[in-house]
A and B are shown apart, each in its own frame.
Chain A
Amino acid sequence: MADVITYREAVAEGIAREMRRDASVVCLGEDIGAAGGVFKTTTGLLTEFGPERVWDTPISEQAIVGAAMGAAMTGMRPVAEIMFSDFLACCWDYLANEIPKVRYMTGGQVTVPLVVRTANGGGLGFGAQHSQATENWALTVPGLKIAAPATPADVIGMMAAAIRSEDPVVFFEHKALLATKGPPPPPGHVVELGRAAVVREGADVTLVALASMVPLALKAADVLSGEGIEAEVVDLRCLVPLDAATVLASLRGTSRLVTVEENPYQGGWGATVVSIVADEGFGLLDAPVRRVAGECVPLPFADALEEQVIPTVEKVVAAVRSLAAY
C-alpha cells in the first residue's frame, strides 16, 4: 500500500477490509457500484466483491435504510450509503423511530447492527440542501451511535469498529476532508468508538472539535502559538458514545474550554459537552466557555457568505483570545 492514503480512499479501504473479513458485510446505496459513489468513496468495491455484495439502489432513502434495517435484523451487516447527510431527513423515520428503538421496545430480542454512511458538511459550495452539518440531528436520538472521523487512519479504524458494532452507527464522512491525506493504518487497525484523541497538547486552552473542525482547530492553535497561547486540541471522533472523560482531563490542565462545531449553535453537540463540563467540571474552569458553531441559518451558496456562517480559523482564534484575556 502507498505510504499516504486520502480520506476518500480510506472510506472504501475501511469498508473493503471488513468485507474481506466478514461475508455478512454488504453495501447498498445510490450510485455506489459501477459509479463508485458520487464522492468516489466506494470505488473498487463492486469490482472486488461483485454485485451480490455491492447493491445499487433506486433513489429511495426510506427503502435503502429500511431494507438495511431488515437485513441487519436477520443476520447481515449492511453498510448503507445516504449520499448527502441532508438526505437523512428523507429517511428520518428509520433513524429516529425504527432503528434506534427496536432493541429497546422488543425487550432486547432484536438487534440492528448496521452502518449508515453519509457525506456531511459544508465548504464545497453545494448550497443549502447539500451542505449542512447534521450530526446534531442524530445526537437527539437515543439509540444511535455517531462516528465522525477526521483523518484517513481514523476513517479506517472507526469504520472497522462501526461495522463490527452490534449497535447501529451513523457514520459521518466530511466532504471537506475527502481529499486530505494521511498515513494508512496497519492491517487490523480498529479505533474503538467513544475514544477521543488529544491531537495537540497545550496548557492554556482546550479546543474540542470534530471532523473537519479538527484541522481547523489545529490551524487556529498554530496561530495562537505564535501569540504565546498553547491550545490543546481534542478530536472527539464520536458523539455517541461521548468521551467526556478526555475533555474533563484536558480541562484539568488548561482550565479554559472552546468547542468548535460546524453544526448550528442551536442544538449543537457543543452544548452537550459544555453542559457536562458545567455539571461535572465547573471547578476546573477559570473562564467562561465559548462555543464556536455554525450560525442558525441554512447554508448559503457563495464562499463569502458561507464563511460568515460556519466556523473559521479567525473565529476560533478570536474566541480563544477572549478567554485568554479573561
Chain B
Amino acid sequence: MTDATGLLARYERMAVIRRTEKAAHDLFLRGLVKGTTHLAAGQEAIAVGASAALRPDDYVFATYRGHHHALARGATPEECLAELMSRATGLCRAKGGSMHLTKAATGMLGSYAIVGSHLPMAVGAAWSARLRGTEQLAVAFFGDGATNIGAFHESLNLAAVWKLPVLFVCENNLYMEYTPIADVTAVPRPAADRAPAHGIPGEVVDGNDVEAVEEAVGRLARRARAGEGPAVLEAETYRHFGHSRADPAAYRPAEEVERWVKHDPLDLARGRLAERGVAEETVTGADERARALVERAVEAARAAEGPDPREALTDVWADGGAAWRT
C-alpha cells in the first residue's frame, strides 16, 4: 500500500488520463480528430498502478487502446492530443495516430493495432534485457480478445521456457470488441486460466484498484527480475466508452454498466484518500491541476502546425528516407 501522498499522485495521474480521454472524445465529435479512437476511460488504474511499480527503464508495449499507457509512461497530454489531431508536434510526428502512440525515450515502445501482435515483441525485449544483463522488465498490456490468438500462446510458451523477465497484463474489460469475451472463450478467466498450461502463474486482480494493481505488478516484477520467469496478471476492468468511436456499446446491459460505473477507479481512489485523512480540497486541487493541464494541452495542440507534407517520404529506412532503389 502506498502512503497518502503516493496515492494522491496516482489519483492525479489517473485524473489526467480521464481528462485527456474526454478531450479526445470531444475533439473527435468536433471533427478535430480523424480516423478513430479507442478510449480507455475506466481502465486508468491498470496503466497507472503498473507504471508506479515499474522502473523508469522498463519496457512497455500496448495496444490500439493505449492512450492511458502512453500517458502513464511519460507522454504528455499535449503530445498525445497533438498526435490525434495530426500535428507536427505529435508523439509520432503525426505518422502514428491514436492507435500507435509511442514514446521510446521513456520505454513506451509502442501501441500495436494488430490484436496481440506485440506480445512476442515484449518477449523479445525481455530476452534482450537478459542478454544485456540489465534486469529490465518488459510488460505487454493487452485486452481479453488477444488471448485467443496464436501469438498469445506462442509468447507465453517461449517466455516460460526461456524464463524471461516479462509480464503479460491482460486488461479484461469483458468485451472482445463488440462481443462478450465469455461467448467466445471456453474458460472464465481468458488470460489467468490459461497461464498455468504454459507453466506460468496466472493471477487475477481488481483492475480498477490502482493500489491492488501496483502491488500485484510490483510483486510479479520482483519475481521476474530475480530470474523466476514470466507471469500473467489478469486485471478486471470496464471501459466507459464503446470499443471505438463507431460503437455506442448498446449491447451492454444497463445493470452491468451501472455496476461498473459505481466501481470507477477514480472514485475508488478518492474514497481511499478520504479514508486516509486527505482533505477533500486537496483532492479537488489535484482534479483542478489535471483539468488545467489538459485544457492547456488541447489549446497548444490545436495551435500547433500540421506536418510538413514532405515527411510522408521519410522514416522508412534508417537513413531517414524511403528510396527503394539505389
Residues on A lying within 8 angstroms of B by beta carbon are 26, 52-53, 55, 57-58, 60, 62-63, 65-76, 78, 93-94, 97-98, 100, 102-111, 113, 142-143, 165-167, 194-195, 240-245, 276
Contact = CB atoms under 8 A, between A and B. Distances in A.
A167 B316 CA distance: 9
Given A67-B123, A70-B123, A70-B125, A107 B91 contact: yes
B128 A76 contact: yes
B103 A62 contact: no
Contacts of B94: 107
Contact of B157 (A63, A78, A111, A143): A63
Nearest to B88: A107
A108 B128 contact: no
Given A70-B124, A74-B125, A107-B96, A241 B326 contact: yes
Given A70-B121, A106-B96, A142-B324, A62 B127 contact: no
B326 A63 contact: no
Contacts of B157: 58, 60, 63
Contacts of B100: 105-106
Nearest to A109: B104
B93 A108 contact: yes
A66 B155 contact: yes
12 contacts: A63-B123, A63-B154, A63-B158, A66-B121, A69-B124, A70-B61, A70-B122, A72-B124, A105-B97, A107-B92, A245-B326, A276-B325
Contacts of A245: 325-326
Contacts of A71: 124-125, 127-128, 131
Contacts of A26: 131
A70 B126 CA distance: 8
Given A73-B121, A242-B325, 15 more contacts: A26-B131, A55-B162, A58-B158, A62-B151, A63-B154, A63-B155, A70-B61, A73-B109, A76-B128, A93-B117, A94-B120, A98-B112, A103-B318, A108-B320, A110-B102
Residue with the highest number of chain A CB atoms closer than 10 Å, among B102, B158, B323: B158
Contacts of B138: 70
B314 interface: yes
A165 to B, nearest CB: 8
Interface in B208-252: none
A98 B111 CA distance: 11
A317 B59 CA distance: 56
B117 A97 contact: yes
Given A60-B157, A97-B114, A98-B112, A70 B128 contact: yes
Interface of B: 59, 61, 90-97, 100, 102-105, 109-110, 112, 114, 117-129, 131-132, 138, 150-151, 154-155, 157-158, 161-162, 314-318, 320, 322-326
Contacts of B114: 93, 97-98
Nearest to B138: A70
Contacts, number: 165
A78 B132 CA distance: 13
A75 B131 CA distance: 10
A73 B158 contact: no
A150 B325 CA distance: 20
B308 to A, nearest CB: 12
Nearest to B123: A67
Residue with the highest number of chain A CB atoms closer than 10 Å, among B90, B92, B102, B154: B154
A110 B104 CA distance: 7
B119 A66 contact: yes
B104 A143 contact: no
A57 B164 CA distance: 13
Contacts of B118: 66, 98
A68 B96 contact: no
Contacts of A106: 92, 95-96, 100, 102, 104, 110
Contact of A98 (B96, B117, B132, B323): B117
A108 B94 CA distance: 11
Residue with the highest number of chain A CB atoms closer than 10 Å, among B317, B318, B320: B317
A123 B112 CA distance: 39
A107 B325 contact: no
Contacts of A97: 114, 117
B44 to A, nearest CB: 24
A243 B117 contact: no
Contacts of B323: 241
A78 to B, nearest CB: 8
Given A71-B127, A74-B59, A105-B92, A98 B121 contact: yes
A66 B153 CA distance: 13
Contacts of B105: 109
Contacts of B131: 26, 52-53, 71, 76
Contact of B120 (A67, A108, A142, A167): A67
Contacts of B103: 109
A321 B90 CA distance: 59
A166 B318 contact: yes
A243 B158 contact: no
Closest 8 CB pairs of A and B: A66-B120, A70-B124, A166-B318, A67-B124, A107-B93, A70-B121, A63-B154, A194-B326
A104 B154 contact: no
A242 B125 contact: no
A75 B318 CA distance: 15
A104 B94 CA distance: 10
A78 B129 CA distance: 13
A142 B322 contact: yes
B195 to A, nearest CB: 16
A94 B117 CA distance: 8
A63 B59 CA distance: 18
B128 A74 contact: yes
